[in-house]
Amino acid sequence: MNLETIFIYFLVFFSLFNLSLIFIALMEKPFKKKPYKLNKNLPSITIIVPAYNEEKNISKTLRSLLKLRYPKEKLKIIVVDDGSQDKTYEKAKKFEKYGVKVYKKTNEGKATAINYGIKKTKTEFIATLDADSFPERDCLLKMLPYFEDKKVMAVTPAMVVYEPKNFIERLQHAEYLFGVFLRKIFANINSIHVCPGPLSIYRRKFFEKHGLFDEKNLTEDMEMAMRIQKYGYKIETAIDSKVSTISPRNFKGLLRQRLRWYTGYINNCIKHKQLFKIPQYEFLSLILIFAYVSIFVNFGYLCYISIKNYQLIRDNLRVLTLTGFDVLDLKNLNKVEILEFIFNYFSNPLVLLGLFGLSVTLLIFLIVKKETKERKVFLNVLIFIFFYVLFYSLFWFFVFIKYLTKQKVKW
Amino acid sequence: MVRITRERQNFNFKIIVAFLFALILFLLGIFSGYYLNQKKIENIENLEKDILVSLQDIDVLFSEINESNICENKKYLDRIGEELDKYAIKLSFLEENLGKNNEMVIRLKKPYTILLIKHYLLTREIKNCEKIVIILFLYSNKPEYISLSENEGIILGYIKKKYGNEKIKVYSLDVELGLKNVENIIEKYNIKKYPSLIINDEVYSYLDKDKLENIIKDILEK
């Protein structure tokens, strides 16, 4: 047994174990949605929109909020301008005639803006919404029924990328769709550990008992989710409640975002390290640990694929240089040669396993596509399948570099 | 300290079930891998049988052929030649999968090489019936020779495809198999290093694509 074989066997078993866990979690509560209705008994809710230099998107976000189906007297919308240098404040101000409250404060970070908003309101539920995100009309109606369970302290939506056009956006579009599925699985085993910025609803009671958002945190939404888990409460997800959000458009922006997210993940894991006590936190601990294992699995997988591709390219280049780059017609291919190739290729267990994994991935995307009614996902899924591991490993690589050289990651 | 009451989730039971489930899938994978390997070995055994049958075939041809009927028997020789090509492809896949020094590969290569040499000897006789190029390719998988040998093999594969089996007959002989027939050839042509090519009785060392093509063209146009 050489190192390569041991790694491959480990990779295979790890993947199969994860797959079995997903399957068990799926069986627990299949994709059943809560029924919802617009009526007078709905609870009061405030949507807080923290905004920093969002003049381009704030109007569209507020318009989408005004279109939400919800009793007007029960819904409050607050914009907290966190010291923008552009026209965010002025643009938001124009919506005051529709009942939107707009505040301006000095720039101290997103968490401070949300906390500022929370202190300005007394409603039973509090939602946070990034200023570059656009919820569908029925989002609140679909999410609130999950609070019937008194242990539920937060509900998250199905997040999708808003109008993906270029490569980076398409990659994220597929990644977010995959995330929708994962979050549903995590919800089934009460292991959600992020409440994403684009529309998460919280029970006010939790803030009163356990404090507001951590203002020094890189990923305050993750910290809040972990805190909710730490105190033994639940976080749910409404898979049919769709929120579109604008995601980084280029590699540099994406890298910046991921440095913040992943470093935030490490920091919050340290802050809430008791979540790693498996006997107490069960599946949640396991998933937090697996997240770390999967980083190394991804690195290893990437190396393996790179070496294999390098060998393939090298061998082909050798043939091409020796034959003077004269590619012979396909008709010259021998039938026996083709049959032997097919037999040899598909009798490799790793190829079969790869095909199995690919089918499972495609199946997951099919399920999510149906649930979220997203369209034109095929190209994005292809990009995801071919490039995600590369990007994911690259981001973690930068995180480790920053961590080892003790550079601070900023917002 | 806040008392934390998390809902129990039947965690241990589920983990054990997931683990067993994964284990079953894993073992299924291993068994199917084992099964496929078994199939491959069966394939090798069949290949060995086929080669032995072809050997008997060519022996019959040997005993029947004489100078007067040699050209009429060409079609039988061509048919065995096609079989040889088929074996060559299968063998090269086996080499790729199992490695060039695999015991089973070497065991198969011996009867195959004998078959090749016999075919070569007969083909030499029909040289007078029509214009053909006969290439004996002597190679070695020893570390000092393997790289150039592989290169020459690639070039010969290309040439064969380009000019077709009718005009070009390539016989690739592994000199490390310890076969008397092969050693006779090495002695006869006084070959010291590999790869070496014997093209219509002329000895050459490594030839690149252009040189080889020029030699072939010369012979065919003569």
What pLDDT, on the 0 to 100 scale, is given for residue A328? Answer: 67
Task: Select from A283, A334, A349 the Cβ nearest to the Cβ of B89.
Answer: A334
A101 and A166 assigned to the same domain:
yes
A168 and A259 assigned to the same domain:
yes
Token code pair at residue B144? 């000092």
CB-CB under 8 Å, B155 with A323: yes
Return d(Cα B143, Cα B176) in angstroms, integer. Answer: 12
A384 and A237 assigned to the same domain:
no
Tell which of A24, A323, A352, A360 to mutate to test the B interface (max B CBs under 10 Å).
Answer: A323
pLDDT tens for residues B81-132?
999 989 998 898 888 888 888 898 999 999 999 999 999 998 888 877 888 8
Q: Average model confidence (pLDDT) for chain B?
A: 89
pLDDT tens for residues B155-196?
998 898 888 888 899 999 999 999 999 999 999 999 999 999
What pLDDT, on the 0 to 100 scale, is given for residue A205? Answer: 95
CB-CB under 8 Å, A189 with B6: no
**pLDDT at position B5 over 90:** no
- Whether residue A10 lies within 8 A of chain B, CB to CB, comes out as no
User: A260, A285, A310: which is the final residue of a domain?
Assistant: A285
* Mean of pLDDT values over A311-315: 91
| CB of A130 closer than 8 Å to CB of A179 | no
What pLDDT, on the 0 to 100 scale, is given for residue A177? Answer: 96
* Mean of pLDDT values over A165-170: 96
A97 belongs to a structural domain? yes
A266 and A344 assigned to the same domain:
no
Q: Among A156, A202, A201, which Cα is nearest to A183's?
A: A156
All residues of chain A having their beta carbon less than 8 Å from the beta carbon of residue B18 are 17, 20-21, 23-24
| CB of B179 closer than 8 Å to CB of B114 | yes
ipTM of the complex: 0.80
Task: Select from B30, B33, B154 the Cβ nearest to the Cβ of A319.
Answer: B154
What pLDDT, on the 0 to 100 scale, is given for residue A21? Answer: 92
What pLDDT, on the 0 to 100 scale, is given for residue B40? Answer: 81
CB-CB under 8 Å, A286 with B15: yes
CB-CB under 8 Å, B19 with A344: no
CB-CB under 8 Å, A151 with B7: yes
Token code pair at residue B87? 């074996």
**pLDDT at position A402 over 60:** yes
pLDDT tens for residues A127-156?
999 999 999 999 999 999 999 999 999 999
Residues 272-331 of A with CB under 8 A from B: 280-283, 286, 318-319, 322-324, 326, 328
Model confidence at A245, pLDDT cuts 50, 70, 90, reads very high
Q: Among B132, B120, B124, B126, which Cα is nearest to B74's?
A: B126
Q: Average model confidence (pLDDT) for chain A?
A: 92
A300 and A280 assigned to the same domain:
no
Q: Calculate ∠ Cα B28-B95-B86, nearest 5°.
A: 100
A242 belongs to a structural domain? yes
Number of H helices, E strands in chain B: 6, 4
CATH number at residue A50: 3.90.550.10
The residues, ordered by sequence, that sit 6+ positions from A407 with a Cβ below 8 Å of its Cβ are none
A381 belongs to a structural domain? yes
A202 belongs to a structural domain? yes
* Mean of pLDDT values over A56-71: 95
A242 and A301 assigned to the same domain:
no
Return d(Cα B173, Cα A35) in angstroms, integer. Answer: 76
- Whether residue A357 lies within 8 A of chain B, CB to CB, comes out as no
Model confidence at A1, pLDDT cuts 50, 70, 90, reads low
A267 and A352 assigned to the same domain:
no
CB-CB under 8 Å, A23 with B29: no
What pLDDT, on the 0 to 100 scale, is given for residue B29? Answer: 85
Which of A93-97, B39-43, B112-116, B135-139 is the least confident region? B39-43
* Ramachandran angles phi, psi of A320, nearest 5°: -65, -40
All residues of chain B having their beta carbon less than 8 Å from the beta carbon of residue A190 are 6-7, 9
What pLDDT, on the 0 to 100 scale, is given for residue A324? Answer: 82
User: Which chain B residue shows the shortest CA-CA distance from A326?
Assistant: B158
| CB of B139 closer than 8 Å to CB of B152 | yes
* Mean of pLDDT values over A381-390: 95
A277 and A351 assigned to the same domain:
no
User: Which chain A residue shows the shortest CA-CA distance from B38?
Assistant: A347
**pLDDT at position B2 over 60:** no
pTM exceeds 0.90:
no
What pLDDT, on the 0 to 100 scale, is given for residue A329? Answer: 58
User: A285, A306, A323: which is the final residue of a domain?
Assistant: A285
Task: List residues in chain B touching A: CB distance below 8 A.
Answer: 2, 4-9, 11, 14-15, 17-19, 21-22, 25-26, 29-30, 32-33, 36, 39-40, 85-86, 89-90, 93, 96-97, 151, 154-155, 158, 161-162, 208-210
A34 belongs to a structural domain? no
CB-CB under 8 Å, A281 with B26: no
A36 belongs to a structural domain? no
Q: Among A39, A126, A41, A47, which Cα is nearest to A80's?
A: A47
| CB of A118 closer than 8 Å to CB of A80 | no
All residues of chain B having their beta carbon less than 8 Å from the beta carbon of residue A324 are 209-210
What pLDDT, on the 0 to 100 scale, is given for residue A411? Answer: 64
Model confidence at A34, pLDDT cuts 50, 70, 90, reads confident
**Got the DSSP string for A192-215?**
-----SEEEEEEHHHHHHH-S--T
* Mean of pLDDT values over B151-158: 92
**pLDDT at position B148 over 70:** yes
Which of A59-73, A78-92, A327-341 is the least confident region? A327-341
CB-neighbour burial class of residue B221 (10 A; exposed 0-12, middle 13-18, buried 19+): exposed
* Ramachandran angles phi, psi of A278, nearest 5°: -60, -45
A15 belongs to a structural domain? no
Report the number of distinct structural domains present in chain A: 2
pLDDT tens for residues A74-106?
999 999 999 999 999 999 999 999 999 999 999
**pLDDT at position A290 over 60:** yes
pLDDT tens for residues A185-208?
999 999 999 999 899 999 999 999
Q: Which domain holds residue A200?
A: 42-285
A262 and A324 assigned to the same domain:
no
Nearest-Cα distance to chain A for B31, in Å, is 10
User: A285, A309, A343: which is the final residue of a domain?
Assistant: A285
What pLDDT, on the 0 to 100 scale, is given for residue A91? Answer: 94
A255 and A304 assigned to the same domain:
no
**pLDDT at position A330 over 60:** no
A182 and A263 assigned to the same domain:
yes
All residues of chain B having their beta carbon less than 8 Å from the beta carbon of residue A277 are none
Return d(Cα B135, Cα B138) in angstroms, integer. Answer: 10
Token code pair at residue A111? 């968490």
A271 and A303 assigned to the same domain:
no
User: Which chain A residue shows the shortest CA-CA distance from B207?
Assistant: A322
A123 belongs to a structural domain? yes
Q: How far is CA B102 from CA B43, B83, B113, B178, in A?
A: 15, 23, 16, 15
